[in-house]
Structure 1
């Protein structure tokens, strides 16, 4: 059986190292649509933080969704979810959920708007 090439071996180990061996976040309330923002006033990131954690805190100085952060970091969403939950737990980031169900428009109203738009043709 042949050995995996160096690139694959390094990339398989890297996520494990970045998340300190964990594959699940400490909280299940963070989803791809979760909005992340650095706390105000900013807290210093510990010396032991990874460069990915530092980059995530820096980019979240402005409101950013988890999936956008993953795209900017060029990392899997599942990995960024672990990092973000750690940073929320440590008080460096604040997580905000999406729009609450009560605020979403009624589906009947949306259907009426759609029907009206179609009649305009």
Structure 2
């Protein structure tokens, strides 16, 4: 069969179950993975001793440009938990960088907003 997956049929999904893709692991090696964390490949050469599965290599192909983890999981059609574990493997080998999402802007103090409103009313 061609491609990275062996399909039974469209509804059944891949023959290899997610727990097999992660070696039974359920937690990533790093806590750096938030759903909105941006992941990008470093471009570093893959060590000949690296044990990368076809899924690891597929992920590397998807993160040539920075992308959020939720988008990667959607594109690769695997559960987010599996993606986090596989990305943890790539992070450990220095093949990806993870950037945390920008914090939401803090809202101005209520007193400042009231002053602006009062100033506008005074016009």
Q: Scaled by the length of structure 1, what TM-score is found?
A: 0.71
Shift of 1:95: 0.6
Q: Which residue of 2 is the match for residue 43 of structure 1?
A: 45
Structure 1 unaligned regions, length at least 5: 1-5, 117-121
* Alignment map for 1:1-121 (pairs within 5 Å): 14-40=17-43, 42-44=44-46, 48-100=51-103, 104-108=104-108, 112=113
As a proportion of its length, which structure holds more helix? 1
Number of aligned residue pairs: give it.
104
Larger radius of gyration: 2
Structure 2 unaligned regions, length at least 5: 1-7, 118-123
- Which consecutive aligned stretches of 4+ in structure 1 deviate over 6 angstroms post-superposition? 9-12
Write out per-residue CA displacement over residues 40-85 of structure 1, whole angstroms, 9 at most, x where no aligned residue.
Answer: 3x32265731111111111101111111110010000011011111
CA contact (8 A) 1:36 1:95 kept: yes
CA contact (8 A) 1:52 1:73 kept: no
When the two chains are superposed, the root-mean-square deviation of aligned CA atoms in Å is: 3.0
